[in-house]
Each structure stands twice: as structure tokens, then as C-alpha cells.
Copies of this chain bind each other. A is one copy, B any other.
Amino acid sequence: MSEATEKRVRSRRLSGGGVKMVDVARLAGTSTQTVSRVLSRPELVADDTRKLVEQAIRELNYIPNSAARLLASSVSHIVAVIIPSLSATVYAQEVHHIVRVLEEHSFSVVIGHSDYSELREERLVQSFLERRPDGFILTGTQHTDLTRQLLRNSGVPVVETFDGDNAAMDMSVGFSNLEAGRKVAELFLSRGLTRIAYVGGRSDQDFRSNARFEGLQSRLAEAGLAPVARIELTLPMPAGDGVRGLDQVLAIDPLTQAIFFSADTLAISALLECNRRGMRVPEQLAICGFGNYDFADAIVPALTTVAVPFEQIGVLAANAILARLDGSVQGPSQTVVPLQLLRRGSA
């Protein structure tokens, strides 16, 4: 390989044009230290020197190397986010707002899918830890022991989201899934409905859905109702699974009066299927969803559902990390955001 070729390859890999801080310093006639200061704490540099440096930076198209910065300063400006899947609107929404907030504070977000598996989450944590993130945002409070140990050991701020019922390792921003279930139970009870079913994710995959079921179940039991039928779907659940859930419920009890679906996607597809079959909603079958997604109030009848403030969760989670990093907040914290039952046409 000729020297020229080698140089080209090298600079390509470096992908910074090969220009580094020394080059800027040389051109500006200062030391690298001053360049560094202009970049991180410009107020400490004399105006003239600063302008000289800034000029040199532009001229050379200098792009700092964050790896070198991390190595020297042990601050990565990275926040690692692990969610079950980006194809579920819920999590996509949450991440959207996390990214939005963190971008404003010049943090980068690296993202990973646990695919609803604690083990995959563990592997991701392990691999993300190599990047020395300044914060972690996880989903739920269910993790392997190793995950907990790794995280605790690393000392990185951790926010667990979507679960306000269980204790968090560090910080948490979530809502009470138990309460969601109870709210829906109340609704059904207030309408005098007694033959009730629940459709959600598999109990070994979706722990937060479990809590919603528990809430529903326990409140109904308090009212003296028989245990509700429960259908467990394998995650991820495409919208069409709502129809399958509906069919399984009706197979168990054709006279079922109400179904609580663990996600609006399921509820909507079930409701539309009822329309198609001529089953009257809510008279013949009441349907309640969870999440208040797009179209929940556009379909006919409009979907009764539990509104979850996904945006707020994302924003608060990001802020929790930021607050811990800038030192304005110190200890653990547990934030529970409110849910709202939206009574519309379907239940």
C-alpha cells in the first residue's frame, strides 16, 4: 500500500478528516489546552484568543473526538435507553420524547430492544456499559440479578419507566398498572357488567399487563364477582391479535359482557371486528382499551380507554437523568404519573 493510500484509508476510518486538536492549536498559535477550553468553557479564554481558535476550527473543519474526550474526562454524554420494542407505539412515543429532551442538552441516545426478554436486556446493559453512558433508562422493574448488579456497580443513574407499582433500583417514572385495572373494574361494575374477560400479553412476558389484570381481578373479587377469564397472547402482539383474543374469549364464554384489552391496538381491532360481525358494542359486548392511541376516539363507537401520559413519562425520565447529572438532585426518587379513564362509547 502506498503511503498516500494508507493515509487516505486512515483518515477515512478516523472519519474526522484526521484533523485534531493539535492542528487547531498550531494554526491558532496556542496550546491544545486553550483549544480545549474554547470548546468546553469559552468564558475562561480571552476574547482575542478565543476568536483565533474559533477561526482555526472553522478553517480546518475540526471535529472533536468524543472518545478521547471520554477517556480523559470520563463523561460520555450518552444515555442508554432500553425498551421492549420500537414497533410498539407506546415505546416509540416515549423514546421520541426522551430523545427530544436529551438532544436539547447535547446528549446522544443509544437505543436497544429487549424484545420483552430480561436476558436480552441483560446483554444489552452489558454491552452498553462498555460505552460508559452517563445514564440508563429501562422499561419496567423486572430485571435479572446480574442486570441489577452491573448497574448498581457502575454507579450510573438509572430510571425505570412504566411501572409505578414496584420498587425501583434507583429512580422511576411510571404509573400504577394495578390502579388502571381497578379503574376499569369500577367502570364495568358501575354498568352492572358481571361476565368479564381480560386479554393481554403472556404473564411471563408482560409483567405490567399482569398488574393490570391483578387490579381488575382483585377489584371485581371485592365486589363478589367470579374470577375473570384471561387470554394470554405472545408478544409482540400485532393489532390483529385483538380479533384472536376476542375469539378466544367468546370460545370460553359466548355470553361475555365486557373485555379489557391490555392495549388499544388490540381493542380497536376487536371493536372493528365486532362491528363487522354485527355484535353491538357496548350493548352486547363492552370493550375497554389501554393507552388512548391514535384513532381510539375516531372509530365508532369511540373507544373507552385508559389514557397514559407517554410523553410526560419520556420527558420526566430524561429530566430525572439530567437532574442527577447536574447535581441538582441527589437520591433515589419514584414518580407516579396519573392515569385517566376516558369513558367513551365502547364501554
Measuring CB to CB, which residues of chain A are less than 8 angstroms from any residue of chain B? Answer: 10-17, 61, 63-68, 70-71, 74-76, 78, 85-87, 89, 92-93, 95-96, 99-100, 103, 106, 108-113, 124, 126-133, 150, 153-156, 238-240, 265, 268-269, 272-273, 275-276, 294-295, 298-300
Contacts and interface: CB of A to CB of B under 8 A. Distances in A.
A325 to B, nearest CB: 10
A67 B63 contact: no
B298 A273 contact: yes
Nearest to A80: B108
Contacts of A16: 129-130, 132, 154
A67 B63 CA distance: 16
Contacts of A106: 127
Contacts of A14: 74, 132
B100 A65 contact: no
A156 to B, nearest CB: 5
Given A70-B67, A71-B67, A295 B276 contact: no
14 contacts: A12-B156, A16-B132, A61-B153, A65-B130, A67-B76, A67-B131, A68-B71, A87-B93, A96-B113, A106-B127, A108-B127, A108-B128, A108-B131, A272-B295
Contact of A298 (B74, B75, B239): B239
Given A155-B13, A272-B295, A298-B269, A86 B63 contact: no
A122 to B, nearest CB: 13
A131 B269 CA distance: 43
B76 A87 contact: no
Nearest to A311: B87
Contacts of A65: 71, 130, 132
A71 to B, nearest CB: 5
B155 A15 contact: yes
Contact of A295 (B10, B85, B128, B268): B268
A15 B71 contact: no
Nearest to A12: B155
A145 to B, nearest CB: 13
B130 A112 contact: no
A110 B110 contact: yes
Contacts of A112: 99, 103, 108-109
Given A76-B67, A130-B64, A295-B269, A11 B89 contact: no
Contact of A132 (B15, B75, B86, B126): B15
A272 B294 contact: no
Given A75-B13, A86-B96, A239 B154 contact: no
